[in-house]
Amino acid sequence: MKKFALGFSLFTLVLLNFSAATQPKKTSEESAVRSTIVDYIEGYYTGDATRMERSLHPHYLKHTISRSDGKLKMTEWTGLQMVQAARSHEAVNLPASEKTEQITVLDVSDGLASAKLVTPHWVDYLTLSKWNGDWKIVSVVLTETD
């Protein structure tokens, strides 16, 4: 019984050390994911096409789900459309007080991440991928909150 308790204690100690050793990498990856999302939303808010483009994966696709006249409507935007909208400053016309965001990184694992972006008018669920060493947004599903 003592051998079992000693073995279990050693196993637990090793497991805790391993968990602590991997934590900084995860925190660093979460920070990088968050930075990508900040580029995305602030590029949108400010019409900064460079920041928008930097945040998007080449196969980016955004689905906007809205309800109109009691019916569900879905529209799609490609990465090129998002960059063009930012470049032409069509992206958004909101007062500065409404250009806020709350970002929650939900999970980061093996080069994939998921996050939630909440703004005064939208809730976005984002999927990101590590692409050529940088985090890029692959897809967004957005719903309006107005």
The predicted pLDDT at position 12 comes to 45
Q: How many angstroms separate the CA atoms of 124 and 114, rounded?
A: 11
Residue 9, pLDDT > 60, answer: no
Residue predicted with more confidence, 88 or 55: 55
Residue predicted with more confidence, 69 or 62: 62
For residue 29, give the nearest of 142, 125, 129 by alpha carbon: 129
Q: Region 120-132: what's the mean pLDDT?
A: 95
Q: Region 48-76: what's the mean pLDDT?
A: 93
Q: At what angle do helices 79-87 and 2-46 cross, to 10 degrees?
A: 50
7-21, 27-41, 61-75, 114-128, range with the lowest pLDDT? 7-21
Q: How many angstroms separate the CA atoms of 26 and 34, rounded?
A: 12
Torsion of CA 45, 69, 78, 34, to 10 degrees: 50
Domain boundary assignment for the chain: 27-144
Q: What is the reported pTM?
A: 0.79
Contacts of 53 (CB under 8 A, 6+ apart): 43, 79, 83
Could you tell me the fold of the domain covering 27-144?
Answer: Nuclear Transport Factor 2; Chain: A, (3.10.450)
